[in-house]
């Protein structure tokens, strides 16, 4: 459920008309709903109720400061994958002991910054990373808390570009090697083992891969404890999918996901961490764009809109589906007709939807891409010298720009010329 609904025939974000925001900031733009972010966070809190837990929002899904502050105010921790994200989390007021550091390529500088500023744990993904972390920690005279991210060789049954838990993926340490790696960790003075980490992929629409992976984590917990390691924390990753096509998708509910955690890991007396990104942010945002032209092609009609693949890359990159709706509610009985919805960028990949049934939308009218709150604005670029589009946050009947559109002059002036020009 989200808070983007028609009221009196016009699409609203909570109590604000989309047309009012458009009149203020111009299209295209992203708009987020505070209440939806809060609701999704609460749903996870309820799913894990009764278990010692921390929800670390995977901020790569949407790292706008207003989003981070909204979630931090509810007690969220953060899952970060870069120094930039770490410093953003800190700037949003999240304390280091609620930040976990993930990622396959952490650098010396990133380790130093996080160890100095405070960190809950590093989720270590390789032996060389662990050795470097040990060295950096010893240099600073501190001890780095770690989990080792294990790769359970489980098929997450999701898009190949976002599956991370098979042995051919670059992520984590093969679970069969885990005991040897933990033994090496235990011998390092700058490293303290606190638990185990696993993350098998994104946009999972089935709980079985989770169950298989978490059963393997339970077995490993027993083995590592028998080896003398103090395993007290289990980081279970993120990845729970959302319904991008509302008419025919019903991914598992967080409550049922919580039940899988309870059943597989509930009696191990470990603190549970989860790292949801998409489920918290995805349906909390939409992208609003104007139709520039209705173009009639040979046997195919096009809606050319003012948003493009540089603003929302998911359709081009993951063949992703986004539900697309007109901002003015279509009258009852209007027959939809198939159109291709495309952006202005000079690439055939700049196609948001092919042969999508849409009610007629006139030039100058607006449409909205649903489920655009995660992996939307954060993946945008300025390709074709198109400015990053603004982000707007709504709360009840108020809205605020939370990242402004840069002017073209600002973009041009970011480049610097060499002396010889
Ligand atoms: C991307 C990622 C997540 C979040 O995945 P979602 O599908 O957005 O929930 C969590 N943990 C790690 C390590 C990730 O790389």
Rounded to an integer, what distance in angstroms lies between the CA atom of residue 158 and that of residue 164?
Answer: 10
Of 167-171, 194-198, 230-234, 287-291, which range is least confident? 167-171
How many CB atoms sit inside 10 A of residue 408's CB?
Answer: 11
Structure tokens at 204: 């999972």
Give, using CA atoms, the residue closest to atom 10 of ligand 1: 238
Same domain, 227 and 108: yes
- Mean pLDDT to the nearest integer, 153-157: 87
pLDDT of residue 291: 98
- Using the predicted structure, report yes or no on whether residue 163 has a pLDDT greater than 80: no
pLDDT category, 162, cuts 50, 70, 90? confident
**pLDDT tens sequence across 91-104:** 999 999 999 999 99
Q: Which residues contact 330 (CB under 8 A, 6 or more apart)?
A: 336, 359
**pLDDT tens sequence across 379-421:** 999 999 999 999 999 999 999 999 999 999 999 999 999 999 9
Q: What is the CATH number of the domain that holds 361?
A: 2.40.37.10
- Mean pLDDT to the nearest integer, 183-208: 97
Query: Going by DSSP bridges, is the β-strand pair 29-33/301-305 parallel, antiparallel, or unpaired?
Result: unpaired
Residue-range definition of the domain harbouring residue 115: 34-279
* Mean pLDDT for all residues in the chain: 96
In a domain, 87, yes or no: yes
Binding site: what residues are annotated? 239, 275-278, 314, 318, 347, 375
Same domain, 88 and 186: yes
**pLDDT tens sequence across 312-332:** 999 999 999 999 999 999 998
pLDDT category, 334, cuts 50, 70, 90? confident
Identify the helix (H) or strand (E) that includes residue 5: strand 4-7
pLDDT of residue 341: 98
166 vs 5, which has greater pLDDT? 5
Q: Does ligand 1 come within 6 angstroms of the Cβ of 239?
A: yes
- Using the predicted structure, report yes or no on whether residue 171 has a pLDDT greater than 90: no
Q: Does ligand 1 come within 6 angstroms of the Cβ of 278?
A: yes
Residue 56: active-site member: no
How many distinct structural domains can be found in the chain? 2
Identify the helix (H) or strand (E) that includes residue 304: strand 301-305
- Mean pLDDT to the nearest integer, 145-152: 97
Choosing from 76, 123, 238 the residue with most ligand 1 atoms within 8 A of its CB, the one to mutate for a pocket test is 238
Same domain, 120 and 196: yes
- Ligand 1 centroid–CA 162 distance in Å is 9
pLDDT of residue 226: 98
Same domain, 308 and 375: yes
Same domain, 342 and 399: yes
- Ligand 1 centroid–CA 239 distance in Å is 5
Same domain, 322 and 174: no
Same domain, 321 and 203: no
pLDDT of residue 37: 98
Rounded to an integer, what distance in angstroms lies between the CA atom of residue 234 and that of residue 225?
Answer: 13
pLDDT of residue 46: 98
Same domain, 258 and 274: yes
- Using the predicted structure, report yes or no on whether residue 73 has a pLDDT greater than 90: yes
- Using the predicted structure, report yes or no on whether residue 119 has a pLDDT greater than 80: yes
Q: Does ligand 1 come within 6 angstroms of the Cβ of 121?
A: no
Binding site for pyridoxal 5'-phosphate: what residues are annotated? 239, 275-278, 375
pLDDT of residue 407: 98
- Using the predicted structure, report yes or no on whether residue 168 has a pLDDT greater than 80: no
- Using the predicted structure, report yes or no on whether residue 156 has a pLDDT greater than 90: no
pLDDT of residue 366: 98
In a domain, 17, yes or no: yes
Rounded to an integer, what distance in angstroms lies between the CA atom of residue 110 and that of residue 67?
Answer: 23
Q: Does ligand 1 come within 6 angstroms of the Cβ of 237?
A: yes
- Using the predicted structure, report yes or no on whether residue 45 has a pLDDT greater than 90: yes
- Using the predicted structure, report yes or no on whether residue 155 has a pLDDT greater than 90: no
Q: Does ligand 1 come within 6 angstroms of the Cβ of 275?
A: yes
In a domain, 344, yes or no: yes
Residues counted in the chain: 421
Catalytic residue among 160, 332, 346, 417: 346
- Using the predicted structure, report yes or no on whether residue 350 has a pLDDT greater than 90: yes
Nearest atom (ligand 1) to Cα of 61: 8
pLDDT of residue 158: 80
Beta strands (DSSP E) in 111-206 are 121-124, 144-151, 173-174, 191-197
- Using the predicted structure, report yes or no on whether residue 242 has a pLDDT greater than 80: yes
pLDDT of residue 161: 76
Q: What is the CATH number of the domain that holds 192?
A: 3.20.20.10
pLDDT category, 344, cuts 50, 70, 90? very high
Q: Does ligand 1 come within 6 angstroms of the Cβ of 58?
A: yes
Same domain, 199 and 81: yes
Rounded to an integer, what distance in angstroms lies between the CA atom of residue 405 and that of residue 225?
Answer: 53
pLDDT of residue 227: 98
In a domain, 249, yes or no: yes
Same domain, 305 and 237: no
CA distances from 201 to 161, 165, 277, 304 (A): 9, 6, 11, 33
170 vs 192, which has greater pLDDT? 192
Q: Does ligand 1 come within 6 angstroms of the Cβ of 277?
A: yes
pTM of the full predicted structure?
Answer: 0.97
Rounded to an integer, what distance in angstroms lies between the CA atom of residue 268 and that of residue 215?
Answer: 12
- Using the predicted structure, report yes or no on whether residue 9 has a pLDDT greater than 90: yes
pLDDT of residue 10: 98
- Ligand 1 centroid–CA 276 distance in Å is 6
Choosing from 67, 79, 372 the residue with most ligand 1 atoms within 8 A of its CB, the one to mutate for a pocket test is 79
In a domain, 421, yes or no: no
pLDDT category, 255, cuts 50, 70, 90? very high
Same domain, 109 and 44: yes
List the one residue out of 404, 326, 313, 391 whose CA is nearest residue 352: 313
pLDDT of residue 166: 75
Same domain, 115 and 52: yes
Nearest atom (ligand 1) to Cα of 204: 7
Structure tokens at 273: 């961490």
């Amino acid at each position: 459920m989200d808070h983007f609904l028609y009221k009196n025939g016009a699409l609203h974000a909570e109590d604000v008309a989309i047309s009012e925001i458009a009149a203020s900031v111009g299209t295209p733009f992203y708009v987020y709903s505070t209440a939806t972010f809060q609701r999704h966070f609460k749903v996870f809190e309820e799913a894990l109720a009764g278990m010692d837990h921390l929800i670390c929002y995977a901020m790569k899904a949407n790292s706008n400061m207003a989003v981070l502050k909204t979630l931090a105010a509810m007690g969220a921790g953060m899952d970060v994958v870069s120094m930039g994200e770490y410093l953003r989390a800190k700037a949003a007021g999240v304390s280091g002991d609620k930040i976990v550091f993930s990622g396959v390529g952490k650098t010396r500088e990133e380790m130093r910054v996080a160890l100095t500023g405070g960190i809950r744990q590093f989720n270590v993904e390789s032996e060389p990373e662990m050795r470097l972390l040990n060295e950096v920690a010893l240099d600073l005279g501190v001890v780095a808390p770690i989990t080792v991210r294990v790769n359970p060789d489980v098929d997450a049954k999701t898009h190949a570009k976002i599956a991370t838990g098979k042995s051919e993926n670059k992520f984590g340490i093969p679970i069969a090697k885990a005991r040897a790696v933990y033994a090496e960790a235990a011998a390092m003075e700058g490293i303290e083992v606190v638990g185990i980490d696993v993350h098998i992929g994104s946009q999972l629409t089935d709980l079985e891969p989770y169950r298989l992976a978490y059963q393997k984590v339970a077995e490993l917990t027993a083995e590592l404890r028998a080896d003398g390691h103090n395993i007290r924390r289990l980081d279970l990753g993120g990845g729970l999918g959302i319904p991008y096509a509302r008419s025919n998708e019903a991914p598992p509910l967080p409550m049922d996901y919580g039940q899988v955690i309870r059943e597989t890991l509930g009696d191990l007396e470990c603190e549970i961490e989860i790292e949801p990104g998409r489920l918290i942010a995805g349906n909390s945002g939409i992208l609003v764009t104007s139709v520039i032209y209705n173009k009639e092609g040979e046997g195919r009609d096009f809606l050319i809109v003012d948003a493009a693949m540089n603003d929302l890359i998911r359709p081009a990159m993951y063949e992703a589906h986004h539900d697309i709706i007109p901002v003015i509610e279509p009258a009852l009985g209007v027959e939809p007709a198939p159109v291709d919805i495309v952006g202005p960028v000079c690439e055939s990949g700049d196609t948001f939807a092919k042969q999508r049934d849409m009610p007629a939308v006139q030039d100058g009218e607006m449409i909205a891409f649903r489920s655009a709150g995660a992996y939307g604005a954060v993946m945008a670029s300025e390709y074709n010298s198109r400015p990053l589009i603004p982000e707007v946050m709504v709360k009840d009947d108020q809205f605020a720009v939370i990242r402004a559109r840069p002017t073209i002059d600002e973009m041009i002036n970011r480049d610097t010329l060499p002396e010889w020009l």
